[in-house]
Amino acid sequence: MLGECVPHDIVSAPTRGSGHESQDSITIEIEAIEADAAARVAAGGSPELQPRRDYAPYRSSLLRHPTHELVRVDPEEVERLSPAFGHTDVNVLESDLTIQHAGEPIGERMTVSGRVLDGEGRPVRHQLIELWQANAGGRYVHKRDQHPAPLDPNFTGVGRAITGENGEYSFTTIKPGPYPWKNHVNAWRPAHIHFSLFGTAFTQRLITQMYFPGDPLFALDPIYQSIADADARARLVGQYDHSLSVPEFSLGYNWDIVLTGPKSTWMESEEDHD
């Protein structure tokens, strides 16, 4: 279940320098890579819309990314051992993360809505979409997240929904807080929400992250900055939409997820979870 999903950034062990580098040294590397990518585009190359596998500022990616051809397995065999899901298994109330316990969760209540689209702008209907996130203090409900932020007994941080006829989805939740990780000294991840999307089979799964506008940690975060193209990075940022705000209840954010094409939303690859 999603409660057992933990982002690899909170447990990644640093590699080179044992995580003792300063934020300044990491930032210099980030800026050098972005300048290199921009120079390649200026010379006629294509923009880098996906992260480099061996993105050095994200220290553990140097050990995590594959160096050999991936071994492909028979998808039918995998599906026989994978969890089953269906529309009848997803209750409409699962999309509201604020009503899962006896009390109200602490934090800024918000509504996150959008559409799941293909590269031609057509809606992707009746697809399972899952969400998981840290609480308002930046803490996940997971045994491997042990940084000293409080757990909220009224917030688990997971939810599910099925996209509608126009590819629409909507979640009610709490705005997550930023949190530290061990990439380098004083490393902090910007506030974000993880999204998981399924196709027609369990093996057809894509995972991505939504961020919030104006976060001062963007320029300092190696994971966000691992996408060298600024426009591609911007597609990961949800936008405040006052029409989605519920009076006296929640603020509204809009975030569309595009699955294919040149304007597609970045998705984590298989090796990101090795």
The active-site residue out of 192, 211, 224, 235 is 192
The answer for residues whose C-beta is within 8 angstroms of residue 202's C-beta and 6 or more apart is: 78, 79, 82, 83, 84, 85
For the whole model, what pTM was predicted?
0.84
Whether 64 is catalytic: no
For 91, the token pair is: 């209750």
Q: How far apart are CA 196 and CA 184, in angstroms?
A: 28
Q: How far apart, in whole angstroms, are the C-alpha atoms of residue 120 and residue 101? A: 40
CA distance 3 to 94: 13
**CA dihedral (142, 147, 152, 153) positive or negative:** positive
Domain boundaries, the chain: 2-64+87-258
- 2-64+87-258 falls under which CATH superfamily? Aromatic compound dioxygenase (2.60.130.10)
Annotated catalytic residue: which of 169, 179, 211, 253? 179
pLDDT at 70: 67
**pLDDT of amino acid 3:** 40
CA distance 32 to 24: 12
- φ/ψ of 34, rounded to 5, equals -65, -40
Catalytic residue among 59, 189, 233, 235: 189
What's the pLDDT at 51? 83
Structure tokens that stand for 256 in this block: 């569309």
pLDDT computed for residue 13 by the predictor? 41
Low-confidence ranges of the chain (pLDDT < 70): 1-18, 70, 73-88, 200-203, 269-274
Question: What is the dihedral angle through the alpha carbons of 243, 244, 245, 251, rounded to the nearest 10 degrees?
Answer: -130
24-34, pLDDT tens digit by residue? 999 999 999 99
Instruction: Say whether 194 is catalytic.
Output: yes
Q: Is 179 a catalytic residue?
A: yes
pLDDT tens readout for residues 190-240: 999 999 988 766 667 888 999 999 999 999 999 999 998 999 999 999 999
Distance set, CA 117 to CA 35, 92, 206 (Å): 31, 21, 13
pLDDT of residue 204: 73
pLDDT of residue 74: 67
Active site annotation includes 126: no
